[in-house]
Structure 1
Amino acid sequence: MSFTWASKKPKDGVATLYESNITLNKAASSHFEHAYNVLLGLDLDSKRIAVKPISKEESDIGAIPEEKRHKITVRSSYARVCNKKFLKEVADLAKIDLKDNNSFKYKAKWSKEDALLVIDLTQPEV
């Protein structure tokens, strides 16, 4: 017999979209352990969300305008970014209904090159 033993740690990043927030699983949130804030970006052409960590130092020197910074809450098994207005734009782009406690899961991959997490709205998690 050749068993493959299951790990308790998820290896694939998953982002769950809700009406008011994006919740990242442990694998995806591991890149934000030292983030002070994040930037949220939306690529309308390729239907992708970018979540880029901002350090305290970057925040303190004022390199990024305050209205572009978003609070991230990082816990031991997940991270969460809240922005209802942004998620309405995402829902319109992805043609999903986030109302009535609906949620949708998408694959999330870390881009080393750009130092950001990419959530692909064309790749729902099954």
Structure 2
Amino acid sequence: MAIEWIMPKDTLGTVTFYDSNITLNKVAASYFVDAYKVIVGIDKEKRRVVIKNLNKEEAMRGDVNKNHLLDVAIKKSYGRISSKKVISDISVLTNFDFLNNNNYKFRAKWSGTEKLLIVDLDEEVKA
């Protein structure tokens, strides 16, 4: 007998881009509870944004430019990365128009081996 267990709670990680921050829903934020810092990157070819969880040792060892390190604030039901510069750089790739739209929400998947949250910019979640 092949049983597929039903998840009673939403396990979909989502990331919402606002004009000044990136907000992670509770599921996505759960991967950063132990983060000391994060770094955010853009994969232009695959149209995705990646957020990497760094512990203190990884952040301080010197192979990551200290100007790339960002704080992530983890609250009870969400997480937030605040940086207008990061949002500005992402907006160039995505053509986000924050004047006509308050936010943009996308699906996000966790890669445990790389400690990366991968945001697929082709998988927008419509409200």
TM-score, length-scaled by structure 2: 0.86
Aligned partner of 2:27: which letter?
A
Aligned residue number for residue 86 of structure 1: 86
Q: For the Cα contact (< 8 Å) 1:14–1:108, is it kept in 2?
A: yes
* Contact preservation (8 Å) 1:110, 1:118: yes
Displacement of 1:100 in angstroms is 6.3
The SS at the match of 2:93 is helix
Structure 2 gap ranges (5+): 1-5
Question: In structure 1, how many angstroms separate the alpha carbons of the residues matched to 2:80 and 2:10?
Answer: 17
Question: 1:28-71: CA deviations, max 9, x gaps?
Answer: 11110100100100011111000001101222333322101111
CA RMSD after TM alignment: 1.8
TM-score w.r.t. the length of structure 1 is 0.87
Shift of 1:89: 2.0
How many residues were matched structurally?
Answer: 121
Counterpart CA distance in 2 for 1:111 and 1:73 is: 20
1:70 match: 70
Question: 2:3 is matched with which residue?
Answer: none
Q: Which residue pairs with 2:122 in the alignment? A: 122
Query: For the residues of structure 2 that align with 1:6 and 1:63, how far apart are their CA atoms?
Result: 39
Q: Which amino acid aligns with 2:52?
A: K
Helix, strand or coil: the match of 1:76? coil
Conserved 8 A contact 1:39-1:68: yes
The 3-state SS of whatever aligns with 1:46 is coil
The separation in 2 between residues aligned to 1:30 and 1:117, in whole angstroms, is 11
Q: Look up the match of 2:54.
A: 54
CA distance in structure 2 between the aligned counterparts of 1:59 and 1:123, rounded to whole angstroms: 30
Aligned-pair identity (%): 36
Q: Which consecutive residues of structure 1, in runs of 5 or more, have no partner in the other structure?
A: none
Matched, 1:36 2:43: no
